[in-house]
Amino acid sequence: MIIGIGTDIIEIKRIEEAIKKNSRFIKKCFTEKERILFKEKKNKIQTIAATFAAKEAVAKALGTGFRNFEFYDIEILRDKKGKPLVFLYRNAKEILKKFKRPQVLVSISHCKDYAIAYAVIEGEEIHESM
């Protein structure tokens, strides 16, 4: 069953400006593994913006937005073929504990000016026996 869906679109220029304006932006919003990914991708602003959009989409799919957890509690990495992978930590992970076998899927795309992400969370309800 679908637990939640979320989407986000962002102007890449906004992320670029945030990075220039606040030297701690990258460290505040992204995990160490994400920052390594960005270095491997030569710190392309499109990759950073798309990852940011993916985090927003996942937060929306969780049904909470960024309440009671931080940006770095959602981690967006890539497999060897470039497919985005989602890892949840701390309170973001706790939200899904009421479901069996939850799976968070995300799709990311970008062009010159915009990055977009779409997230779906699937799982099964846990039925308590009496």
**Per-residue pLDDT for 129 more than 60?**
no
Out of 60, 93, 98, 127, pick the active-site residue.
Answer: 60
Task: Verify whether residue 60 is a known catalytic residue.
Answer: yes
Residues 116-129 have a mean pLDDT of 84
Residues 63-86 have a mean pLDDT of 90
pLDDT in tens, 1-18: 898 999 999 999 999 999
**Burial call 81-118: b when 16+ CB within 10 Å, e when fewer:** eeebebebeeebeebbeebeebebbbebebeeebbbbb
Out of 20, 100, 110, 127, pick the active-site residue.
Answer: 110
Residues 78-104 have a mean pLDDT of 90
CATH of 2-125, one of 3.30.360.10, 3.30.110.40, 3.40.50.1370, 3.90.470.20: 3.90.470.20
Give the residue with greater pLDDT, 18 vs 95: 18
- The model's pTM is 0.90
Task: Verify whether residue 127 is a known catalytic residue.
Answer: no
For residue 26, report the phi and psi dihedrals to the nearest 5 degrees.
Answer: -60, -45
